[in-house]
Amino acid sequence: MSANAIYPPVLSETLAVGGAQIPRLGFGTYGMSGSRLQEILVSALHHGFRHIDTAQMYQNEADVGAAIRASGISRRDVFVTTKVWVGNYPAERFAASVDLSLQNLGTDYIDLLLVHWPRGGVSIAEQIDGLNRAVDAGKVRHIGVSNYNAEMMRSAIEFSKYPIVTNQVEYHPFLDQSVLIETAQANEASLMAYCGMALGRVFKDPVLKEIAMRNKRTIAQVVLRWLIQQPQVVALSRSEKIERVAGNARVFDFELADEDMQTITKLHTSGSRIVNPPHLAPDWD
């Protein structure tokens, strides 16, 4: 694609938080790599996505960088989030791992750098110090955390000299994250939701089916809209089927009624957490 190619309008919104302008809808890349991921990401970018989420642990940062270049869309117009893996938290490894991420992405800065899990062998203070040093070095523009509980998030904010702009966590209609959302709101931060489709559980739910039919939308569109229509929430879409990418991007041209928002929120049930590795996860709220 030529850098001068003309693309459809970007139907997107951003969330202003801690000096960052985070696109409300991002594209998650967990579990994908290679030429297929690159093809899907190029399609996502051409259909209006401007936020890509990756991580050192995903082993696909190079594919993300290649896709951005292949898209013909300027790097400055794409918001890239990546995460430092727990094995790289010690000070002697942290900076080198960021350099490797930059090399893999083929860029000289990262828009948003997160620490991936709170339990990684070093204290929260040390994790946040690594993030701060990356900003000091001019390699990272904004920082945040992932999979922190509310108490840990408040500690991270206290330890950091730069704003902690997000906490990336599992969030879908069946999982109550009201405590973390309230913590984000109280501290002028955001919650970045992954696993929004609950590994496909949303597609079988009769309540969501009815709301989708009445709104003449797909269930995926309804769930993504429910996420981003909440204050301080950013949503990560993810699909390995390229034919679904365009539809998932169309969540900015409609709104859910307050009644629908409340109905979806009431779907949360106990025992609905999906991602919970015992050696990495905190005591959840």
List CB contacts of 143: < 8 A, sequence separation 6 or more.
Answer: 112, 113, 114, 128, 131, 132, 134, 135, 160, 162, 163, 164, 165
217: region left, alpha or beta (phi > 0 left; psi from -120 to 50 alpha): beta
Rounded (5°) CA angle 225-227-231: 110
- 58 part of the active site: yes
Q: Which residue has the tokens 């709301």?
A: 211
Q: Which of 58, 89, 171, 194 is catalytic?
A: 58
- Is 172 annotated to bind ligand? no
Q: Which residues are catalytic?
A: 58
Feature table: binding site for substrate? 116
